[in-house]
Every structure is written in C-alpha cells, then in structure tokens.
Structure 1
Amino acid sequence: MKKLVDYSLSIVYLLYFGLVLVIFHVAQVVSFHVFGKQAHKKTVDWMNAAISYGWYLTGSSIQFNNQANLPTDRPIIFVPNHQSMFDISPIIWFLRRHTPIFVSKVELAHGIPGVSYNLRKSGAALIDRKDPKQAIVEIARLGKLIQETKRSAVIFPEGTRTRSPQGEMKPFVTGGVATLLKRAPSALVVPIAIRGTGHFNPKGLFPLTSFSRMSWTVLPGIEPTGRTPDEVVRLAQESIAKELGHTIQAGV
C-alpha cells in the first residue's frame, strides 16, 4: 500500500516539478534580459521556494533551523553534507539574503529547464571533474566573486551524494574550500547539516518516498583565521556529523 502511495504522489509532484521548471525558466529569461540581474535573482529565489514547498504534495515536510548569527558584511562559504539533488533548493530560498552561489558539475549547465539557465547566469563555478586545473580556476573565480560582492558560495566537500543507509558521511575533501578561502580570505565558513533528503529520493527522481521529514540546520560558523584549510574542513564535518548523529567513513 505504501509503495502505491509513493508512486501516486511521486507522479503528482513530478508533474508539478516539471511545470515549475518550465514556467520559471521562461520567467528567468524575461527577468534577466528585461529587468536585470537582481530581478533574475528574485525569480530564482521564488522558483526554489516553489520546488521546496511543493514537497508537501507528497505528504513530506521541510524544516529550516538557523543556529548561526550570519554576517552580511563579509562573504560566507557554506559547507553542507550532500545526500540528494533536493539539498539545494531550500539553501537558495532560506538563505536568499546571502545570495548563495554554487560549485556545480559543468554537465548541469545545460539541459535542465530553469536550473541550467540559473547556473550559467548566477556566476556558479561550473567544474569539470575530469580536469582538475579547470576546476581550480572556476572555484578561484567564485572565491574572488564572493570576496568582492560579500555574497556566499556553497560547496559540497563530499564531492558526490551519499545515501548510506547507516547515515555515514564520506570524508570531506579540503581542496575546493581551500581554493575559495585563498581568494576570499575574509570569508566565514558555515556548516549546514542536511537530514532526510536521501531518504526522500533514494533511487533518483522516481519513486519519491512520501511522508519524509527533511531538515536543514545552519550551524555556528568557523573562523578560518589561524587555522589551516584542513582543520577548518575537519571542524565543519565534525560539526555536521555531531548534529546528525552520523559517523564518517574512514576513506573512499
């Protein structure tokens, strides 16, 4: 019976999801070319609100908790754990005041209505994981951007999604955060603990798991001054693991 509910509600949500992407893709193009970058940003914010709150169609819920006093006069590097493609939309919506800009795979810059257009226009670091030199250049460019604009970057240091049934986290990789800090030396590093999104879509987009409980918890920031990037990243992962009650895999 539960599988039937999952399949039925997944169809409802995915029809809604596709409609949201198409409508907001058109809205983004119009807002960017007619009204400018700020109007485009607001359109993206509302697209991600629609994606996030649409999960109620599956009987699921989202909760956002902010334990940090986030500054607006300096750049921020948000460092979340990564379970699902659905990790992203609530970060964009609930942290919209800080204009989060993502480090993303270059493959996502084409072919996905709404999402790909935003990645190309937002200043996202579009990295080719087969070309480390290109990835470093892109991440460095994003670091310089947030240093100059006092905006924020979002990087998933696990590198890929983790859906361990035991709740384990992959070790965080330091390189991307280190590159951002090098170009944005005044940035505050802020961990985000994400819970439940891997359970929501354990097998991809279909079927989704109805009545899931998902949450995003912004944890206290970590001052990089006087710490090595390795130490900063380690502290961020330990903070997330403690919040989630997870273990960290010894290696991959």
Structure 2
Amino acid sequence: MRKFFGYLLSPFFYLLFGIIITVFHPIQWICLKWGGYRAHKNCVDVLNWCLLSSYYVLCNRVKFKNNQQLPMDRPILFIANHQSMYDIPPLIFFLRKHHGKFISKIELTKGIPSISFNLRHGGAANIDRKDSKQSIGEILKLANNMKVKNWSAFIFPEGTRSKTGIIKPFNVGGAATILKKVPNVLVVPVAINNSWQMVRYGFFPLNTFTRMSWEVLTPIEPQGLTTEEVVAQAEARIREKVN
C-alpha cells in the first residue's frame, strides 16, 4: 500500500522539490552578491527548511532530537551515519547555528540548481576522489576556516550511503585531518534512522508514511584520544541508536 501511494505522490514531491531548488538558485546568487556570506547562509537555511518540508508531501515525518547543550564558541565535527541524500537538509537546518559545512564529492558542484551553487560558494570541501592532493587541500582549507571562522563540519565516515540502513564500518578519512588541524574541535555523533526507507524502491516510486529521525548524541572530547579511538566511539554510539 505504501508503494502504491508512492506512485501517486512521488511526481508531486519531485515537482515541488524541483521548484524549490530552481527558485532558490537565483535567490542565492543575489544574497551572496549583495549580502555576502551571512545573507547567503540565511538563504541556504531557508532553502533546506523548504526541502525537508517537502518530505511531508509523501506523508513522511521528520523528527529531530537534540538534547545536548552544544557550545557555540568552538567548532564541531558532526559524525553521522549515511542512509540517503535526504539525510542532509535536516542536518543543515536544525544545526544551522553551527555553520556546518560538508565534505562532498566534486561531481556534485555542477548540474544541480541551488545545491551545486551552495557547494561551490558556501564553504564546503569539494573533493576529487581521484586526486588525493586536491582532496587533502580542500579538507585543509575547511579545517582552517573552522579554526578562523568557528565553522563546523559534517562528515559521513561510511563513505557511501547504506541502502538498507545497516551501518557500514566507519573510515577515519577526512576526520583525521580535521582532528589534527583543529585542536579545539568537539566531536558530536548524529544517529540517522529510516531515511533509507524513503528510497527503498529507488528514485521512483519514493516510499511513503515513513518516520525518519535524526538524534544528536553525547559529544566526544577528542583530547587525549587517537583519531581511531574517536571515530570508533562515535560509531559505537551511533550503532546503539540505529534500528
């Protein structure tokens, strides 16, 4: 039955999603040109609120739980499991006060209205997986901005999305560079549940009546720990929460 409703509602979702990213593309350009980083950041926050609100067209529900008193005076490295592309708008919107930036594939910086523009101009580290020197340079640039501008970062240590919700082993990867170059960074795990259900049938039809959740978990102070220990702790805490 949920799949049946998916066939009915998916076209409306994609239409709305497409309208949102198309409309916000020139708005982002105007905000960046005339208002600089702050105006562009506010525009991106509203964009992602609209995108996550579009999930309700499919009768899907978004629950974001954050009972942690996260500091505002130090950068944060948010480490999360990765289930679908729909993981991202709730992270950006609900944690917007922390100015979180993504480590993303360079391929995403072209061809997607609004999203590609934000990746190019919003401070993300856009890495070419075939060019290790370029990738390290991008992550180092992000790390420097975290130190200087008190930005935060999101990272998905699994590397690729889990199509079944089962967590893949976490890789140290980019987390190692950030932990090394940003000595005052705080590590915060985020557990994502059931966003994979939204795309369990692929891109069409999308699934309906899905309860998805994002939960911010207890922070990890990395001082005195190796990168491997920090990432292992984050992975263990996330595994405890993911169904």
**Alignment TM-score, normalising by the size of structure 2:** 0.97
Q: Which runs of 4+ in 1 moved over 6 A?
A: none
Partner of residue 222, structure 1: 220
- Counterpart of 1:212 (choices 210, 213, 217) is 210
Aligned to 1:250: none
Q: Please report how far the alpha carbon of residue 3 of structure 1 lies from its aligned counterpart in structure 2 after TM superposition.
A: 2.8
Distance 1:224 1:177 in 2: 11
For residues 146-225 of structure 1, the aligned pairs below 5 Å read 146-164=146-164, 167-225=165-223
Consecutive unaligned residues in structure 1, runs of 5 or more: 246-252
1:76 maps to 2:76: yes
* C-alpha distance in 2 between matches for 1:36 and 1:203: 40
2:39 alignment counterpart: 39
CA displacement, residues 11-53 of structure 1 (integer Å, 9 cap, x when unaligned)? 1110000000000111101111122211111000000000001
Segment drifting more, 186-195 vs 3-12: 3-12
State the 1:169 CA deviation: 0.9
Query: Identity of paired residues, percent?
Result: 47
Measured in 1, the distance between the counterparts of 2:35 and 2:140 equals 29
In 1, Cα distance between the equivalents of 2:25 and 2:92? Answer: 16
Per mean C-alpha deviation after superposition, the further-off stretch among 67-76 and 203-212 is 203-212
| Structure 1 contact 69–220 (Cα < 8 Å) conserved | no
Partner-residue secondary structure (3-state), 1:48 = helix
Distance 1:119 1:202 in 2: 26
Q: Which amino acid aligns with 1:139?
A: I
Partner of 2:142: 142
* CA apart distance, 1:203: 4.2
Q: Are the counterparts in 1 of residues 201 and 207 from structure 2 also a CA contact under 8 Å?
A: no
Deviation at residue 205 of structure 1 after TM alignment: 2.9
Question: Cα deviations across residues 165-186 of structure 1 (Å, max 9, x unaligned)?
Answer: xx42111111210101111111
**Number of residue pairs matched?**
243
Aligned equivalents of 1:206, 1:50: Cα separation in 2: 21
User: 2:109 — aligned with what?
Assistant: 109
Task: Give the AA of the match of 1:188.
Answer: L
Give 1:95's aligned residue.
Answer: 95
The residue aligned with 1:249 is none
Q: Post-superposition shift, 1:130?
A: 1.5
Amino acid at match of 1:84: S
Root-mean-square deviation (CA, aligned residues, Å) is 1.1
Residue aligned with 1:55, SS: helix
Write the letter of the residue equivalent to 2:208. S
**CA offsets 1:78-114 (integer angstroms, 9 cap, x no match):** 0010000000000110000001100000000010000
Q: Could you tell me which runs of 5 or more consecutive residues in structure 2 were left unpaired when the two chains were aligned.
A: none
Retained in 1: the 8 A contact 2:3–2:208? no
Preserved contact between residue 143 and residue 182 of structure 1 (Cα < 8 Å):
no
Provide the residue aligned with 2:18 in structure 1.
Answer: 18
Q: Does 1:238 align with 2:236?
A: yes
The one-letter amino acid paired with 1:216 is W
Matched, 1:55 2:55: yes
1:248 aligned residue: none
Shift of 1:4: 2.7
Partners of 1:115 and 1:228 in 2: CA distance: 34
